């Protein structure tokens, strides 16, 4: 029983730590807790949307119905297509959909950093469900620790870059520059999907091609550093949105 409790604590702890860290970096105007809870729960719904979209895609293209343990036997081009389209793009779009639906016109969305908070909370809601499901399937200390170090922060990092670009999209929309707004709106989906795709591609490819392990480690370090610098920059020099309703 104690072992199970420890596993559950380690499973949930990374989410709590990252949420507290991101929330505390919001130095100008804290977001209401009710909205943050709603966004975290929306992360749960994004899992359901991901499953639905994956089923639709798999029905049209059976290639995407492969079990994860079988993907390691794919060729590198096949792994690339599977991870970038069948996993990364669908998951990041699902998160993005709920963030934009809930917050785009919300009165509290009046700073650039707000978008980062929103996207990270939805991403961590998604990561929490995913983490629990993986833990139930493979409840080992090693598996839980690896996900705490890599997978959960990975979702948060994707949320950071999604939020940065979503915030820029709203800023330019309010400034009347619709071309730039559309550009950053597209970036808010494609950039996290690209980062997510690279992550998953390296994980699956490493199982068959050992050299990818070192590339994966370097990529994770890059994500940690780039995310930290982005948070530090935006938190310190946040942009206030005017013309907000």
The answer to whether the beta carbons of residues 135 and 111 sit under 8 Å apart is no
The verdict on residue 3 lying in a domain is no
The verdict on residue 242 lying in a domain is no
Sign of CA dihedral 142, 146, 151, 157: positive
Q: How far apart are CA 147 and CA 133, in angstroms?
A: 12
The verdict on residue 119 lying in a domain is yes
The verdict on residue 6 lying in a domain is no
Q: What is the pLDDT of residue 20?
A: 96
Number of domains into which the chain is organized:
1
Tens-of-pLDDT digits for all 245 residues of the chain?
666 667 777 778 889 999 999 999 999 999 999 999 999 999 999 999 999 999 999 999 998 888 777 887 888 999 999 999 999 999 999 999 999 999 999 999 999 999 999 999 999 999 999 988 887 776 677 777 888 899 999 999 999 999 999 999 999 999 999 999 999 999 999 999 999 999 999 999 887 776 788 999 999 999 999 999 999 999 999 999 976 55
Q: What is the pLDDT of residue 3?
A: 62
The verdict on residue 71 lying in a domain is yes
Q: How far apart are CA 205 and CA 242, in angstroms?
A: 46
Q: How far apart are CA 43 and CA 96, in angstroms?
A: 10
The verdict on residue 8 lying in a domain is no
Question: Under the phi-then-psi rule, with left for phi > 0, alpha for psi from -120 to 50, and beta for the rest, what region is 108?
Answer: alpha
Domain containing 86 equals: 13-236
Q: What is the pLDDT of residue 136?
A: 73
The verdict on residue 191 lying in a domain is yes
With b meaning 16 or more CB within 10 Å and e meaning fewer, what string describes 90-106? bbbbbbbbbbbebbeee
DSSP 8-state symbol, 67: -
The verdict on residue 145 lying in a domain is yes
Q: pTM of the predicted model, to two decimals?
A: 0.94
């Amino acid at each position: 029983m104690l072992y199970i409790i420890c596993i559950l604590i380690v499973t949930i702890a990374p989410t709590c730590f990252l949420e507290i860290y991101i929330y505390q970096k919001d130095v100008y105007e804290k977001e209401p807790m009710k909205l943050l809870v709603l966004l975290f729960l929306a992360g749960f719904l994004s899992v359901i949307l991901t499953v639905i979209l994956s089923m639709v895609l798999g029905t049209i293209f059976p290639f995407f119905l492969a079990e994860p343990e079988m993907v390691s036997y794919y060729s590198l081009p096949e792994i690339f297509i599977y991870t970038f389209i069948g996993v990364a793009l669908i998951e990041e779009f699902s998160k993005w959909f709920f963030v934009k639906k809930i917050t785009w016109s919300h009165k509290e969305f009046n700073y650039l950093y707000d978008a980062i908070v929103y996207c990270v909370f939805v991403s961590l809601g998604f990561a929490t469900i995913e983490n629990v499901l993986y833990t139930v399937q493979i409840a080992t200390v090693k598996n839980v620790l690896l996900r705490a170090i890599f997978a959960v922060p990975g979702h948060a990092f994707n949320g950071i870059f999604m939020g940065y670009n979503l915030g820029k999209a709203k800023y330019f929309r309010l400034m009347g520059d619709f071309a730039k707004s559309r550009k950053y709106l597209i970036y808010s989906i494609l950039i996290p999907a690209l980062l997510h795709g690279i992550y998953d591609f390296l994980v699956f490819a490493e199982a068959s091609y050992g050299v990818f392990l070192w590339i994966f480690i370097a990529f994770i370090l890059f994500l940690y550093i780039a995310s930290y610098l982005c948070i530090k920059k935006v938190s310190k020099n946040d942009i206030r949105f005017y013309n907000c309703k």
